Amino acid sequence: MRFILLFASCLLAFISTALSVLPFGLIAFIPIAIGLTLSWVCYKKTLSDGKKLIFIQLIIAVFVCSSCLTLYNTFRPNTIVNADEASEIEKQNDIETLEELENLEIEN
Amino acid sequence: MNRFIIIVLGLISFVISGQNNTIAPGEKLTFTASYNMSGLLTDFAQITMETTTFKTSKSEFLRLRCKAQTYEKWNQFFAINDTYETFVNPTNLEPYIHKRQINEGGYFKKMQYNFDSKSQSVKSIKTKRRKDGTFWDEKNTFRVSEQTKDIITTLYALRNSDIHKAKIGTKDRITVLFDNKETEITIALIAIETIDTKLGMIKCYKVGVSLQNSEILNNDNDNVIWLTADKNKVPVYVKFKVPVGNGELKIQHATGLKF
């Protein structure tokens, strides 16, 4: 039972780390919530069995770090990058459009 | 049954006015696009719609531009940089040149339509990029109906329409040119609602958009636009459904409005 809980916690720790790094928003909290619950139960079981706690403590620490990273990614302002290359392409498009529209006259 | 439908459609239609009374140069609308991932909405891109004056030696056109760009944190995974723009007559929003440039995750495509209202035809140029980085063009000329517009002009023409004169349940059909094909779109005034937006609590026209005239007026259709119920008719909220999922557009800023 303790081994299953430990294995599940490890797996969820890996998934939550991956999702917290990706820009998928609050979706990382789903494995974090489940993982923290399972790892807390595993911690209690390990404590009662008198086994070493270091491994489960590390897993809980991973969940805490993932939570912090997810919150940071979610609440930091979204920014747009305007590359110089894109600006140059826009200027070129404007020049081409001007040449095309020069031949046209608006009829009112 | 067909005669009944024709009579009903003939009686109830809100007019997409020829005269431009709503759109002025210098307007800028900024939206955040969100995508539904496992029940949670995630912001992934910014959409801007702006109007500027474009002058030549003979005329002054109105440029209607719509840009979609992913936020910086998404660029590493799937970068989107799309530009849709149309150069129109500022008096009646008649399109002259429409350009669409798509740059999505390495896929590049450019589409241009040159409208000729006298001959009711369109010259199209499609530019795509090969794997080796070189480009190739595909040119076509085809006839279109008098009312056919590109997608950007259609969006702005919808804002220029006499929605305020329409009753709930009113429908209208618009023909839009997209990817060299004329597609008929049905728009319907579903309701008048007050919704909460970044700009405050605003009374809006809830307009449903459908390609096949299905699921409109059941309050659960997939593509809905909320336009402010004032002279500006600003789109403040959009719900959309695409083959790979659904999402929303929410307005963040609106500047340079005519009224």
* Residue A108 located in a structural domain: no
The secondary structure of residue A26, as a DSSP letter, is G
* Residue A107 located in a structural domain: no
Q: List b or e across B157-184, with b for residues whose CB sees 16 or more CB atoms inside 10 angstroms.
A: bbbbbebeebeeebbbebebbeeeeeee
A23 contacts B74? CB cut-off 8 A: yes
Q: What is the pLDDT of residues A75-108, one digit of tens each?
A: 888 888 776 667 787 888 888 888 888 888 777 6
Q: What is the pLDDT of residues B101-159, one digit of tens each?
A: 998 888 889 999 999 888 889 999 999 888 888 888 899 998 988 888 899 999 998 89
SS3 B228: strand
* Residue A84 located in a structural domain: yes
Residue B230 has a pLDDT of 92
Cβ contact A20:A73 at 8 Å: yes
Q: Pick the residue from chain A with its C-alpha nearest to B73.
A: A23
CA B51 to chain CA centroid, nearest Å: 13
Bridge partners of residue B204, in order along the sequence: B193, B228
Q: What is the SS3 string spanning B61-125?
A: EEEEEEEEEECHHHHCCCCEEEEEEEEECCCCCCEEEEEEEEEECCEEEEEEEEEECCCCEEEEE
Instruction: For residue A20, give how far its alpha carbon lies from the nearest alpha carbon of chain B (Å).
Output: 12
B56 contacts A93? CB cut-off 8 A: no
Q: Which of A43-57, A80-94, B18-32, B191-205 has the weakest average pLDDT?
A: A80-94
Closest partner CB to B72 (pick from A25, A81, A104): A81
pLDDT band at B220 (very low <50, low <70, confident <90, very high): low
The secondary structure of residue A53, as a DSSP letter, is -
- Mean pLDDT, rounded, for A5-21: 91
A80 contacts B72? CB cut-off 8 A: yes
Closest partner CB to B69 (pick from A24, A80, A90): A80
Q: Whole-angstrom Cα distance, residue B142 to residue B148? A: 12
Q: Which helix (H) or strand (E) holds B190?
A: strand B181-197
A93 contacts B99? CB cut-off 8 A: yes
Mean pLDDT of chain B: 85
Residue among B28, B21, B18 nearest B257 (CA): B28
Q: Is B221 exposed, middle or buried (0-12, 13-18, 19+ CB in 10 A)?
A: middle
Instruction: For residue B108, give how far its alpha carbon lies from the nearest alpha carbon of chain A (Å).
Output: 13
Pull the structure tokens for residue B183: 């597609």
* Residue A52 located in a structural domain: yes
* Residue A37 located in a structural domain: yes
Cβ contact B30:B56 at 8 Å: no
pLDDT band at B8 (very low <50, low <70, confident <90, very high): very low
Sign of torsion over alpha carbons B256, B31, A93, B74: positive
Closest partner CB to B40 (pick from A25, A102, A108): A25
SS3 B128: strand
Q: What is the SS3 string spanning B7-51?
A: HHHHHCCCCCCCCCCCCCCCCEEEEEEEEEECCEEEEEEEEEEEE
Of B222 and B16, more confident: B222
Cβ partners under 8 Å of residue B222, min gap 6? B215, B239, B240, B241, B246
Residue B235 has a pLDDT of 95
How many interchain CB pairs under 8 A, A with B? 74
Q: In chain B, which among 112-131 make CB contacts under 8 A with chain A?
A: 114
* Residue A90 located in a structural domain: yes
Residue among A25, A12, A22, A24 nearest A71 (CA): A25
CA B251 to chain CA centroid, nearest Å: 15
Number of structural domains (chain A) is 1
Closest partner CB to A23 (pick from B32, B54, B73): B73
Pull the structure tokens for residue A13: 């720790």
Cα three-residue angle A66-A71-A77, rounded to 5 degrees: 135
- Containing structural domain, residue A36: 2-102
